[in-house]
A and B are shown apart, each in its own frame.
Chain A
Amino acid sequence: MVISKKPLHFIAALLVAFMPLVSSANPSNDSTAVEAHAVAKTEEASHEGVHAEPKDEKAKIKEFINHHLLDSHSFYFNADEESGKHFGFSLPIILWDNGFQFFSSSKFHNGEEVAEHNGNFYVLHHEKIYKTDASGKLNEEHGHPTNVRPLDFSITKSVLGILLIALLMFLVFTSLAKSYAKNGGIAKGIGRIFEPIVLYVRDDIAIPNIGEKKYKKYMSYLLTIFFFILFLNILGLTPFGFNVTGNFTITASLAILTYLITTFTANKNYWGHIFWMPGVPTPMKFILAPIELLGTIIKPFSLMIRLYANMVAGHVVLMSIIGLMFIFKSWIGSSLSFGLAFALSILEILVAFLQAYIFTMLSALYFGAGNEEHHHEDAHH
């Protein structure tokens, strides 16, 4: 899909550049798939307690994918199925339970044990922390535990990913910014790769949608959100198993920010169009106002769902196809699914760019709608 001529070259170059990453990602994903069984099994053992029967391969893979899509309180690359040993590191748990409670996620022993801290007992169930008594028993009702959930401010895997990307973006773009001053207005160093994208965001996303006059105040947000989503999408394709943009909470917060910015920077004309649509009969205005008002909420909602669904769908499909390798267990089927996974990985890189582009593009469009000048009204008469 050609977005424009120059960036296409750039995207093509980037595709090629990332290819080795992807090809190496697949085998490592395979190893995570192996880990899947381990994690799945140990989890099963912990959660369902006694009735931990051996499961078939399909169920294990399903379990692993579901586990991957969730946020995680610890960071593991691999696990040994036999010994139940996990390779990786624990992350800090921060809870608000009558004051902040800090402890390491290693206390949960990968969800197998009850963590005791300051006389309180906590249990990790499907990556959610519940407060329990010393026995660690959860009172289940319709399959959902009814125990109290303390506010969980833990540095989870997603938070770690966000922090990493934030740090990376800060380093890359400040170095780019500094290189201008050093080299007399010409970019140098690693940030240079991103200069065409910065210009693309300005010239093809911000200016056409918001307008020459007002685009400047939105540039910081648009650029940050574009690179943030892009980097997180690509991080999700690496074998580290991050699934940050495929997390409902993350996309919701991004969409809410877009909604807030649209709402607070919108001009009179925008609100006029929502509450008192010009150029239609008066009774229609009363009907249109709630519809338009609902529309303002649906717009960021669709932003949120779109990014979330695209990323989740990509991860699920990719991991399912990788998982097929372990179901086929024949060299024809497995290599076929490997080829398919490879092709899909490349498609996912395109989706990573496309979703970042669409999110930014639609945000810019909404900002532009909020800032539209009066001339629109003349067209109605």
Chain B
Amino acid sequence: MEKLINDFSFGLFIWQVVIFVGLILLLKKFAWKPILDAVNEREEGIKNALLSAENAKKEMQNLKSDNEKLLAEARAERDALMKEAREIKDKMINDAKVEAQATGEKMIEQAKAAITSEKNAAMAELKNQVSSLSLEIAEKVLRDELSNKEAQTKLVEKMLGDAKLN
């Protein structure tokens, strides 16, 4: 220790401190700051480039998935449309069928009704004609019959006889 203290040189110490502190300050201004800044800048640049590449990749992926989504949506829409169209078609056919059936039935009904009414009318006419005919016949018969007394009496008798039978 004594040797060390003996070796200590104040002048050298002052020189060293002055030169060293000066060196630190000078280098700080002219070397370390620009070097570290440049290195930092470069590192930032690399980081940014990597980040933007990553972002681009992500964007691409997003785009791709978007596209796929769109495609899927379109496909779904198409499917839905097709389904709807098919449904409408089926419904229309069904409706048409039902309507046609109903119309047919109605027409048949109407036809039936018409036929019935025609038949009734025809029957009624027939009845009328038959009754008028029979009246005429009966008139004629009666006239012929009632032209002689005998025949009249015979009829009355017969009628009476019928009545008796009843």
A is bound by B: yes
Chain A residues proximal to chain B, CB less than 8 Å: 70-71, 94, 144, 151-156, 158-159, 162-163, 166, 169-170, 173-174, 176-178, 180-181, 185-186, 195, 198-199, 202, 219-221, 223-224, 228, 247-250, 252-254, 257, 308
Classify chain B's interface size.
20 to 34
Q: When chains A and B are docked, how far (Å) is the Cα of A253 from the Cα of B21?
A: 11
What 19 new A-B contacts, CB under 8 Å, besides A173-B30, A220-B33? A70-B7, A155-B15, A159-B15, A170-B23, A173-B31, A177-B31, A180-B34, A185-B45, A202-B36, A220-B28, A224-B27, A247-B12, A248-B8, A249-B9, A249-B13, A249-B16, A252-B8, A253-B13, A254-B16
What are 28 A-B pairs with beta-carbon distances under 8 A? A153-B14, A153-B15, A158-B12, A162-B19, A169-B23, A169-B27, A173-B35, A177-B32, A177-B33, A178-B34, A181-B34, A181-B38, A198-B39, A220-B32, A221-B24, A223-B27, A228-B23, A247-B7, A248-B4, A248-B8, A249-B7, A249-B16, A250-B16, A253-B16, A253-B20, A254-B16, A257-B17, A308-B4
Shortest distance from the beta carbon of A5 to any chain B beta carbon, whole Å? 19
Chain B: CB-nearest residue to A158? B12
In the assembled complex, which residues on chain A have CB atoms less than 8 Å from the CB atom of B35?
173, 176-177, 180, 195, 198
Contact in complex: B12, A170 (CB < 8 Å): no
Contact in complex: A185, B28 (CB < 8 Å): no
Shortest distance from the beta carbon of B125 to any chain A beta carbon, whole Å? 120
Contact in complex: B11, A228 (CB < 8 Å): no
Chain B: CB-nearest residue to A180? B38
In the assembled complex, which residues on chain B have CB atoms less than 8 Å from the CB atom of A257?
17, 20-21
Shortest distance from the beta carbon of B128 to any chain A beta carbon, whole Å? 124
Nearest 3 CB-CB pairings of A with B: A173-B31, A180-B38, A177-B34
* SS class, residues of chain A in contact with chain B: helix
Contact code string B89-104 (vs A, CB < 8 Å = 1, else 0): 0000000000000000
* SS class, residues of chain B in contact with chain A: helix
Contact in complex: B34, A152 (CB < 8 Å): no
Interface centre among A158, A173, A220 (most CB of B within 10 A): A220
A-B contact count (CB 8 A): 120
In the assembled complex, which residues on chain A have CB atoms less than 8 Å from the CB atom of B20?
162, 166, 224, 228, 253-254, 257
Chain B residues proximal to chain A, CB less than 8 Å: 4, 6-17, 19-24, 26-28, 30-36, 38-39, 41-42, 45
Chain A: CB-nearest residue to B10? A151
In the assembled complex, which residues on chain A have CB atoms less than 8 Å from the CB atom of B30?
170, 173-174, 177
Contact in complex: B26, A170 (CB < 8 Å): yes
Contact in complex: B27, A220 (CB < 8 Å): yes
Interface centre among B8, B12, B19, B23 (most CB of A within 10 A): B12
Q: When chains A and B are docked, how far (Å) is the Cα of A362 from the Cα of B27?
A: 21
Contact in complex: A224, B23 (CB < 8 Å): yes
Contact in complex: B41, A185 (CB < 8 Å): yes
In the assembled complex, which residues on chain B have CB atoms less than 8 Å from the CB atom of A249?
7-9, 12-13, 16
Chain A: CB-nearest residue to B28? A220
